[in-house]
Amino acid sequence: MTTIQGPAIFLAQFMGDKAPFNNLKSICLWAESLGFKGVQIPTWDNRCIDLQKAAESQTYADEIKGIVNECGLEITELSTHLQGQLVAVHPAYDTLFDGFAPASVHGNSKARTEWAVQQLKWAAKASRNLGLNAHATFSGALLWPTVYPWPQRPAGLVETGFKELGNRWKPILDEFDKHGVDVCYEIHPGEDLHDGETYELFLKEVNNHPRACLLYDPSHFVLQCLDYLTYIDYYHERIKMFHVKDAEFNPTGKQGVYGGYQSWINRAGRFRSLGDGQVDFKSIFSKLAAYDYKGWAVLEWECCIKHPEDGAAEGAVFIQDHIIRVTDRTFDDFANTGNNEAFNRKVLGI
């Protein structure tokens, strides 16, 4: 068993134009003051990191790492959630997702995909240069518009979609493998990898690639009414990252999983600050510790009610209180009667 590392914080939801949230050093000092020990860095935000430069310059990567370390923190992982989304985009979402990419590739889905793939490959090298062994991302989605289909899906559509998704990701996974880094897909509605069944369809298409791993975030499973504890039993060997995020699901006579096009505050399923939702984190931390999870517990703050700074301050304490310092002995060791073959045979009467 392993004591989980943490608490850490994903910086994406906190970066802004005002101090202390407007550059890497100042936000790290803020995070450390709250009790965090690590930061997960969004690579699309130039206030945090220049991804290409971190991939191509060991000196620059060392400078970024030095800034974080001098603030009393460690870099837990890099994230390419936005770029990973663009590896595979259904045409229905082209206009909306153009905003995740530079203006030079807007309106050109092929060029946008090529840009995203290059971003992921830089992320592999940058992670290696920073001494990291896991990376957070999304899978993208070709099939999502057909998740609850009407009219019915044409025969073979799912198979074709996952084959294409696998073809796009296989070279990226190979690049991460070359640099010794796991790709951790956040299993998430809106992605083709949104539950265990879809993850297994993907694994089949990438030949069970050893780097095709998982970012575990129970909040997305609460909103899907998926058993997020048994999920750990199924996939613990592939879980290499952990977003600690809370959620609640309160269906009514008017809405359920799909939310009736309501705003987050009015949906049956809502993300909440840690401790304000329904996730059984005591059981989650227990399972991950028992299964020898060696990664970090990273706060991802998303709440439709509470202020983010309050969510962060409370979240650091919440995670620290849930991390289990695992035992190095058995509770009944005091009653040990010894162990040798002759004694064991005598006990058994043989």
pLDDT tens digits, one per residue of 165-207: 999 999 999 999 999 999 999 999 999 999 999 999 999 999 9
Q: What is the residue-averaged pLDDT of the chain?
A: 96
State the CATH number of the domain containing residue 211: 3.20.20.150
Cβ atoms of residues 112 and 105 within 8 Å: yes
Kindly tell me if the per-residue pLDDT of 298 is higher than 70. Answer: yes
Per the structure, the complete domain to which residue 214 belongs is given by 5-348
> How sure is the predictor about 81, in pLDDT bands with cuts at 50, 70 and 90?
very high
Kindly tell me if the per-residue pLDDT of 334 is higher than 80. Answer: no
Query: What integer is the mean pLDDT of 233-262?
Result: 98
Q: Could you write out the three-class secondary structure of 209-258?
A: CCCEEEEECCHHHHCCCCCHHHHHHHHCCCEEEEEECEEEECCCCCCCCC
Nearest Cα to 2, choosing from 320, 296, 316? 296
The pTM for the full model equals: 0.95
pLDDT of residue 217: 98
Counting residues of the chain whose pLDDT is more than 90, the rounded percentage is 93
**Alpha-carbon distances, residue 322 vs 189, 220, 262, 271, 319 (angstroms):** 27, 20, 33, 19, 5
Kindly tell me if the per-residue pLDDT of 21 is higher than 70. Answer: yes
Cβ atoms of residues 209 and 182 within 8 Å: no
In the chain, the number of structural domains is: 1
CA distance 40 to 28: 10
CA distance 309 to 134: 27
CA distance 146 to 143: 6
The residues near 18 (Cβ < 8 Å, ≥ 6 apart) are none
CA distance 183 to 56: 20
> How sure is the predictor about 336, in pLDDT bands with cuts at 50, 70 and 90?
confident
CA distance 9 to 76: 9
Do the strands 296-299 and 212-216 form a parallel or antiparallel pair, or are they unpaired?
unpaired
